[in-house]
Amino acid sequence: MVQFNNVPVVGRNGYIEADTAFHNDISPVKVDLVFGTFRSEDTSQYLLPVVKRAENMVVNDTSSHDYLSPTGIEGFTKSASSLLLGDIDQLWKEGMVFGVQCIGGAGALKIGAEFLSRYMNCTTVYYPDPSYEIHGTIFEFSGFQNTFEYRYLNRETKAIDFDGLCEDISNASVDSVVILHACGHNPTGLDLTKDQWIIIAEIMKERKLIPFFDIAYQGMASGDTEEDAWAIRYFHSEGIQFLCAQSFSKMFTMYNERVGNLMVVLKSGFNSDSLKIHFERIVRSLYSNPPNHGARTVYQILSNPELYKEWSSSFKSMVVRIIEIRRAFRKALEEEGAPGKWNHITDQKGMFILLLLTDSQVEYLRYFHHIYMVKSGRINVTGLNFTNISYVAKAINDTLRKN
Ligand code: PLP
């Protein structure tokens, strides 16, 4: 007979383990660098004022809570896809580009993985080492037999190992799926240059690989949404077919509304109608249809020129704060004389810094200084503020000298 007590016993790991440990610590000086959301200088979770305004409009306009279709609000998926590709009116009409409203960026990765596994018979996925911590799990749980990492970070130089990356994906078997962070790579903050993207696109074409972009920080890497979508636009201009999981959690500060879009980009002449039916079936089998409020709010902002203008200028202040904190943190570590070089803190972009600490150094920071981060030493830049930067820099100096 099947027994619950036969289920293997496991412990928490990654983000959830670190978050739980932080909440269990009763020290008044504890510092949370674990979470993945944008915090203000006073540590409160920041909500963009334009989002609040748009939400009120959506609530006032809501006259029913009827079900959405499995693929969600078409206006939302279209404006979300335009944010990635620019003017897509004709492509949308012809079915060359379409979107599936998903439960956040993670949901878009999951729906894409299910599609690739079930209907394209893909069995192998490559993702960067290191990467967003659930990339491998999502594909493994969707039936991918081979989940491989490709070289990305050179831990010695703290720069991208571009030769290693090219070698690994050049050796990938035909029809392998390759996950590519379009910008603001999580957790390294290191992005490919345009010249490097051009080479990657060539390899993808030559090796017949399937690119699966993941974009969760559009605009938060360079401050410019178009610049941060450059790689996606380039692949499209090269006639490459691909998927793109798009998250609205970070740039709209709407983490728990779970707003995401899976954009599917096809070659011309392809009839996407039956593909869409496959996506509908996947969604039906998982959660039937998506929720309304968050996607409707994002759609309200993207489709209203006044709100769009306010959004694009106000979220840039988040980027400014990230840059200022990076500069101050590097300076504090250098002034403390913390062993090692710290230029990578200001060379990298986006919400995360990978400090490349050992597990025992991360443990030491927890137990002796009440500072929490994911093992591997990934910290959220906005967990730092001008009150705690010096405390954290001193603690890191102490940790590195004693461990
Ligand atoms: N992809 C990357 C690279 C991320 O960093 C994240 C979130 O941290 C996601 C996807 C998931 O986004 P969401 O919270 O919208 O599911």
Compute the average pLDDT of residues 229-252.
Answer: 97
- Report, as an integer, the average pLDDT of 188-216: 97
With a 6 A CB cut-off, is 168 part of the ligand 1 pocket?
no
**H/E element holding 153?**
strand 153-154
Residue owning tokens 């035909």: 174
Tens-digit pLDDT profile for residues 302-347: 999 999 999 999 888 999 999 999 999 999 999 999 999 999 999 9
How high does pLDDT run on average in the chain?
A: 95
As a whole number, mean pLDDT of residues 61-72 equals 95
Closest atom of ligand 1 to CA, residue 107? 16
Give residue 375's pLDDT band: very low, low, confident or very high (50, 70, 90): confident
For residue 12, the model assigns a pLDDT of 80
Model pLDDT, residue 98: 97
Yes or no: say if 263 and 81 are a contact pair by the CB < 8 Å rule.
Answer: yes
Mean local confidence (pLDDT), 17-35? 93
Question: Does residue 10 register a pLDDT over 90?
Answer: no
Coil, strand or helix at 136: helix
Nearest atom (ligand 1) to Cα of 185: 3
pLDDT at residue 399, rounded to an integer: 97
Tokens of 217: 């920080």
Mean pLDDT in residue range 278-300: 98
| Average pLDDT of the segment spanning 173-194 | 96
AA identity, residue 132: Y
Q: Give the pair of three-digit tokens for residue 363.
A: 């443990």
Query: Which token pair is 178?
Result: 């390759």
What's the pLDDT at 46? 92
Give nearest CA residue, ligand 1 atom 12: 105
* pLDDT bracket for residue 369 (50, 70, 90): very high
Asked if residue 205 has pLDDT above 90, the reply is: yes
DSSP symbol at 68: P
Distance between CA atoms of 345 and 126, rounded to whole angstroms? 27
Atom 7 in ligand 1: residue holding the nearest Cα: 216
The DSSP annotation for 85-124 comes to HS--HHHHHHTSEEEEEEEHHHHHHHHHHHHHHHHS---E
Average pLDDT over residues 130-149: 97
Measured by CA distance, the residue closest to atom 10 of ligand 1 is 105
Given a cut of 80, is residue 271 above it in pLDDT? Answer: no
**Cα–Cα distance between 83 and 284 in angstroms, integer?**
27
CB 72 within 8 A of CB 289: yes
β-pairing, 242-247 vs 210-215, is parallel
| pLDDT class of 28 with cuts at 50, 70, 90 | very high
Region label for 356, one of left (φ > 0), alpha (ψ between -120 and 50) or beta (otherwise)? left
- Give the model's confidence band at 265: pLDDT under 50 very low, under 70 low, under 90 confident, else very high: very high
- Taking the centre of ligand 1 as the mean of its atom positions, its distance from the CA of residue 134, in whole angstroms, is 9
Q: Cβ of 348: how many Cβ atoms within 10 Å? A: 22
- What pLDDT is stored for residue 11 in this prediction? 81
**Ligand 1 mean position to 245 CA, how many Å?**
9
396 neighbors 365 (Cβ within 8 angstroms): yes
Kindly state the average pLDDT of the residues 11-33: 90
Q: What is the mean pLDDT of residues 104-117?
A: 98
Query: How far is Cα 166 from Cα 152, in angstroms, rounded to an integer?
Result: 9
CB neighbours of residue 20 within 10 Å: 12
Token pair of 264 as six digits = 């599917």
Cis omega (within 30 of 0) for bond into 130: yes
Kindly state the percentage of the chain with pLDDT values over 70. Answer: 100
| pLDDT score for 214 | 98
The best mutation among 152, 179, 180, 249 to test binding of ligand 1, ranked by most ligand atoms within 8 Å of the C-beta, falls on 249
27 is written with which tokens? 């020290």
Q: What is the 8-class DSSP label of residue 6?
A: G
Classify each residue of 174-211 as buried b or exposed e, where b means 16 or more C-beta atoms within 10 Å of its C-beta: eebbbbbbbbbbbbbbbbbeeeebeebbebbeebebbb
Q: Which bin fits 208, alpha (ψ -120 to 50), beta or left (φ > 0)?
A: left
Neighbour tally for 29: CB within 10 Å = 11
Whole-angstrom distance, CA of residue 160 vs CA of residue 157 = 8
Q: Rounded mean pLDDT of 168-182? A: 97
> Is the minimum distance from the CB of 220 to ligand 1 under 6 angstroms?
no
Cα–Cα dist 143/124, whole Å: 10
- pLDDT score, position 270: 75
Name the β-bridge partners of 101. 261
Residue 153 has pLDDT above 80, yes or no: yes
Which whole number is the average pLDDT over 14-30? 91
CB atoms within 10 A of CB 56: 12
Query: Where are the alpha helices (H) located in 86-219, listed in sequence order?
Result: 89-94, 104-119, 135-141, 162-170, 194-207
| Residue count (the chain) | 403
Q: Which of 45, 101, 131, 132 to mutate to test the pocket of ligand 1 (most atoms within 8 A of CB)?
A: 132
What does the pLDDT read at residue 268?
A: 75
187 cis-preceded (ω within 30 degrees of 0): yes
Q: Which residue has the tokens 């980027």?
A: 319
Record the pTM: 0.96
pLDDT at site 167: 98
